[in-house]
């Protein structure tokens, strides 16, 4: 049988760098041929060969309702009939902003943009403009988009200024980016002790989804908040991945329930708020957001910001996830999957640990959950690759990389979860060898 995925990949490589429009899709980390998706529905997608897969990527998080939810489709189709884009304000973008603000108490005003990268970049600019400071803190293993100032990694020493991790990013562009180890309170305190007066913000993924699934510990997050408050730096929560995915109030609601009075100064959102369309946002209290043009001196703009079709998709998604019991059911499904995978690995004597929150999960081929990027990097890549391809052959699609979280949708059925665990059990049995 002709492999149309391979044919399409060869065609793609002739006209698109690496044959893909985002690097992780290339399967470079795991080997093999990427699956070219022809269509998707509910918890599944079908590739160019007509093979069906249970989808645990869900467009990397946005498809919390599953693919092609009827209410979302109806909203998008109605919006399309009115026009694709206007470059002018619409009522729907106001409605979407109001809905997000109602659900996230830390936000009083927000600005819609088209991608998480754009939102993260704009949030950093706003933090610098509002504080009049240059330096920022980020954490190794946290991804905030591919803006130049954020494409950095940690070097040696207690706290090292970033060095570019991409060609085309001059060292002077990242000279004000301080990169620390995730969950390391000692490094955090040392950085503030030395640079507090120069720090505009600290930006963090509260649950880091680009080193698989690693939570910020409560002592660490509490200290982030305390130090930012004490020294006038802004605490920026990057909830592009976790926003409305781990809870209706995002990851910040989880920390607020455990740390009295906790909230971030600014929040970056994406993925779920667009329901699968290119849409993101950043928001904060009114006084901070009013630094943005046209009210203030911090410039930010976008031709397709607040796109009427994207806002229709996002607004319909946000309304659906508010039905009673939605997150209870979603969380139960995710825990069932994670527990099933853990039990299967344990039965085969394979080192394995997993964690989840809401509809987001991650697992590692370790005996205990890692707390930082350095530990994540020690995982057994060869064994993971065998697990990935074994699942793929059995119609279960997880991220084609060690360092990406997985996602369960409301469309996944008990049978989907059961079939996925059964497939994993078969593959894990072979990993003992």
Cα 142 from chain centroid?
10
pLDDT per position as a tens digit, 357-373: 999 999 999 999 999 99
C-beta neighbour count of 165 within 10 angstroms: 13
The pLDDT of residue 174: 84
Q: Which CATH architecture has domain 70-320?
A: 3-Layer(aba) Sandwich (3.40)
Q: In whole angstroms, what is the distance from residue 199 CA to residue 197 CA?
A: 6
Q: Which of 56, 143, 182, 327 is catalytic?
A: 143
Reply yes or no on whether the pLDDT at 349 is more than 60: yes
Give 433's pLDDT tier (boundaries 50, 70, 90).
low
Cα 328 from chain centroid?
21
What phi and psi values does residue 396 have, to the nearest 5 degrees?
Answer: -120, 120
Beta bridge partners of 66: none
CB-CB contact of 246 with 256 (8 Å): no
Q: Name the residue among 86, 151, 152 with its Cα closest to residue 117.
A: 151
∠ CA 382-345-411, nearest 5°, is 95
Tokens representing 191?
């950085």
Q: In whole angstroms, what is the distance from residue 117 CA to residue 144 CA?
A: 6
| Mean pLDDT across 186-205 | 97
| Spans of all domains in the chain | 4-64+324-430, 70-320
Give 169's pLDDT tier (boundaries 50, 70, 90).
confident
pLDDT per position as a tens digit, 43-67: 999 999 999 999 999 999 999 999 9
Reply yes or no on whether the pLDDT at 157 is more than 60: no
Give 426's pLDDT tier (boundaries 50, 70, 90).
very high
Asked if 367 is an active-site residue, the reply is: no
Q: Quick one: 295 exposed, middle or buried, by C-beta within 10 A (0-12, 13-18, 19+)?
A: exposed
DSSP state of 34: P
Q: Name the residue among 127, 86, 373 with its Cα closest to residue 238.
A: 127
The pLDDT of residue 164: 57
185-195 and 218-231 are packed helices; what angle lies between their axes, rounded to 10 degrees?
Answer: 10
pLDDT per position as a tens digit, 99-144: 999 999 999 999 999 999 999 999 999 999 999 999 999 999 999 9
pLDDT per position as a tens digit, 379-420: 888 999 999 999 999 999 999 988 899 999 999 999 999 999
Q: In whole angstroms, what is the distance from residue 79 CA to residue 83 CA?
A: 7
Asked if 13 is an active-site residue, the reply is: no
Reply yes or no on whether the pLDDT at 161 is more than 80: no
Supply the pTM of this predicted model.
0.95
Class of domain 4-64+324-430: alpha beta
**Structure-model confidence comparison of residues 207 and 159, the more confident one:** 207
Phi-psi region of 306 (alpha: psi -120 to 50; beta: other; left: phi over 0): left
Asked if 143 is an active-site residue, the reply is: yes
Q: Name the residue among 137, 109, 120 with its Cα closest to residue 270.
A: 120
The three-class DSSP label of residue 239 is: strand
Q: Which of 271, 397, 403, 416 is catalytic?
A: 271
Q: In whole angstroms, what is the distance from residue 222 CA to residue 244 CA?
A: 22
| % residues pLDDT > 90 (the chain) | 87
Question: Biggest alpha carbon distance in the chain?
Answer: 65
The pLDDT of residue 173: 81
Q: Name the residue among 312, 338, 347 with its Cα closest to residue 56.
A: 338
Tokens representing 55?
């989808």
Q: Which of 47, 55, 238, 416 is catalytic?
A: 238
């Amino acid at each position: 049988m002709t492999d149309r995925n391979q044919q399409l990949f060869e065609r793609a490589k002739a006209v698109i760098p690496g044959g893909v429009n985002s690097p992780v899709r290339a399967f470079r980390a795991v080997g093999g041929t990427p699956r070219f998706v022809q269509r998707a529905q509910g918890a599944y997608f079908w590739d160019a060969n007509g093979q069906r897969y249970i989808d645990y990527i869900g467009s990397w998080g946005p498809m919390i309702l599953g693919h092609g939810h009827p209410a979302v489709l109806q909203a998008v189709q109605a919006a399309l009939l009115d026009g694709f884009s206007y470059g002018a304000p619409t009522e729907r973008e106001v409605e979407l902003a109001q809905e997000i603000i109602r659900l996230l108490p830390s936000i009083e005003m927000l600005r819609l943009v088209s991608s998480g990268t754009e939102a993260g970049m704009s949030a950093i600019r706003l933090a610098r403009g509002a504080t009049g400071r240059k330096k920022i803190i980020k954490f190794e293993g946290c991804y905030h988009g591919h803006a130049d100032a954020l494409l950095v990694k940690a070097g040696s020493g207690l706290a090292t200024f970033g060095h570019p991790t991409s060609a085309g990013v001059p060292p002077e562009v990242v000279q004000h980016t301080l990169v620390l180890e995730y969950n390391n309170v000692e490094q955090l305190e040392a950085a503030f002790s030395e640079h507090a007066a120069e720090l505009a913000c600290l930006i963090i993924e509260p649950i880091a989804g680009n080193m698989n699934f690693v939570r910020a510990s409560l002592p660490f997050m509490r200290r982030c908040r305390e130090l930012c408050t004490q020294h006038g730096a802004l605490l920026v929560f990057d909830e592009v991945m976790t926003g409305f995915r781990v809870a209706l109030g995002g990851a910040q609601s989880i920390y607020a329930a455990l740390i009295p009075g906790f909230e971030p100064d600014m929040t970056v959102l994406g993925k779920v708020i667009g329901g699968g369309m290119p849409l993101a946002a950043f928001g904060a209290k009114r006084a901070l957001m009013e630094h943005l043009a046209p009210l203030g001196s911090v410039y930010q703009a976008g031709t397709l910001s607040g796109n009427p079709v994207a806002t229709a998709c996002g607004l319909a998604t946000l309304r659906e996830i508010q039905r009673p019991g939605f997150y209870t059911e979603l969380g139960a499904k995710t825990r069932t999957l994670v527990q099933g995978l853990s039990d299967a690995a344990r039965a085969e004597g394979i080192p394995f640990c997993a964690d989840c929150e809401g509809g987001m999960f991650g697992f590692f081929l370790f005996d205990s959950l890692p707390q930082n990027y350095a530990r994540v990097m020690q995982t057994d890549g060869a064994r993971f690759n065998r697990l990935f391809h074994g699942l793929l052959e059995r119609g279960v699609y997880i991220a084609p990389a060690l360092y990406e979280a997985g996602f369960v949708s409301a469309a996944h059925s008990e049978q989907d979860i059961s079939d996925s665990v059964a497939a994993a059990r078969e593959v894990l049995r072979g990993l003992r060898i």
